[in-house]
Amino acid sequence: MDHNKVAEDMNYLVQPRGPGTGWVFRMITPTELIGKPTPLTGKPFGKEVKKGLGTRHPVEARKRRDIALGEIRKAAAELSDEGRFTLSSAEEWREMIANDDSEEHGIELILSDKLEEAAKRGVPETKLRSFNRVALGKGYPITTALDRYIEERSPGNRRNFKPLALTTVGNLKTAVGHLRAFLEDHQNIACMEDVTPNAARVFRDDYLPDQKSPRSPQGMSHKTVSKNITLLSQFWAWAVERRITMARYKNPWIFQKSVPRASRPDQPTREDFTPPEFSKLLRAAPAGTHKGDLIRLAIVTGCRADELATISLENTEEDGSGFYLTHGKTSNALRYVPVPAKARELLQRRAALNDPSGRIFPEWPIRGASGKAAAVSQWFTRFRRQVLGPGTDHRLSLHSIRHTWRTVARRARVNEADINDLGGVVRSSLFKFRL
């Protein structure tokens, strides 16, 4: 046994009444804590800390010692320069300065003196400058504000803000990522106040449209740019309301109305599948396979394919006559969807799998971050190219199935309100595709 290790592990532990008696936590008080209230008893710290641990067992004594030691170290850190110049401390100073009605602005002078003293003690200048910006209401870190915003827009929040969908949170983080890249915020210190109306305009008109990706090789579309700006505008509006950023800075994302934008001439547009094209897809994906069953159910119900991938067994009628969608892209996506007679056997067959996941299509994984089955879209793109050729990239997609269903439903004179409210149900005989 390593006796040195055992001895070291018993630091700050003594048995004043001898072996076999209760252990006591004992240590010299850090200088900065003397005279300050102790978190252990509430009494002022003396030159030495003593606390009975209420146990005779060494293992339990070490656990309780670690807890007591942690409380003391936390209290010391809060009184150190590291603890003084935190974001929460800066927010407290900002509140005091905002409520200071004196002509001398005494609170600001006191803060200025403390920052000078800290600089002399060697506290990093960048830390003090960032602290001062927040304290004076001239800056608040974008990423910190983002975390607070997402928390306050979460389900069940105490301020009754409308919760953000998981996909919206992801899109917002992407928009903030673009903004930080535009601001060249490599050290994560950019503040909301750094975004001036002029900077916001350049970001919208010049920076975002030039951002290219595999899905947008020609650059970001106007609709995607608008989506990013809308998300950032709502984020900033919340910050002004919650006084995260002062009202005098206003919301830089509110622009005056300008000339309407048109879609790019070469921007891909979705078209309906022709009967021969969809028949090819059905032949390549036989009924009875999870891929073939999913696209068949998509074409007869008009549901989004990733909605179908999330259907649960408990929300499906035993006779296959319909199912409930309990979550989706919008609030209108929550609905009961009747299933045409010829497709009910398909749904019953899927339900009979009785997979432990409790889903009708367990083969498609659900992403925890978005709650969607993104793999469906990825698979269908590869499948469509293989069956119909890459030349269909600019006019056909997975969502084209939904457009095809709407077109056929309208030709069959299905009431538009039924299409919008229920997702639409048309008789399978209306389709020229063979199930």
Tens digit of each residue's pLDDT, the chain (435 residues):
444 444 457 888 989 888 889 999 888 887 767 777 766 666 777 888 888 888 988 889 888 888 888 887 766 655 555 556 776 777 777 778 878 777 777 888 888 887 887 788 777 777 777 778 778 878 888 988 999 999 999 999 988 999 998 889 999 999 999 999 999 887 777 889 889 999 999 999 999 999 988 767 788 988 899 999 999 999 999 999 998 887 777 899 998 776 676 655 555 567 899 999 999 999 999 999 999 999 999 999 888 877 888 888 898 999 999 998 876 655 556 788 889 898 999 999 998 888 888 889 989 888 766 667 878 888 999 999 999 999 888 788 888 898 898 888 888 888 887 777 655 333 444 444 444
In a domain, 209, yes or no: yes
Domain that residue 242 falls in: 142-249
CA atoms of 409 and 423, how far apart (whole Å): 11
Q: Are residues 307 and 418 in the same domain?
A: yes
Cβ 409 vs Cβ 419: under 8 Å: yes
Number of domains in the chain: 4
Q: Are residues 325 and 419 in the same domain?
A: yes
CA atoms of 164 and 35, how far apart (whole Å): 47
Q: Are residues 416 and 399 in the same domain?
A: yes
CA atoms of 264 and 309, how far apart (whole Å): 33
In a domain, 258, yes or no: no
Q: Are residues 7 and 120 in the same domain?
A: no
Q: Are residues 292 and 390 in the same domain?
A: yes
Q: Are residues 75 and 100 in the same domain?
A: no
User: Which residues, in sequence order, are CB contacts of 12 under 8 Å at separation 6+?
Assistant: 25, 26, 27, 65, 69
CA atoms of 361 and 310, how far apart (whole Å): 7
Q: Are residues 311 and 345 in the same domain?
A: yes
In a domain, 254, yes or no: no
Global confidence as pTM = 0.55
pLDDT number for residue 231: 96
Q: Are residues 112 and 195 in the same domain?
A: no
- Positive or negative CA dihedral for 208, 210, 213, 214? positive
Q: Are residues 335 and 411 in the same domain?
A: yes
For residue 391, the domain's CATH number is 1.10.443.10
CB neighbourhood size of 249 (10 A): 20
CA atoms of 368 and 380, how far apart (whole Å): 21
Tokens representing residue 138 in the block? 């001239």
Q: Are residues 128 and 47 in the same domain?
A: no
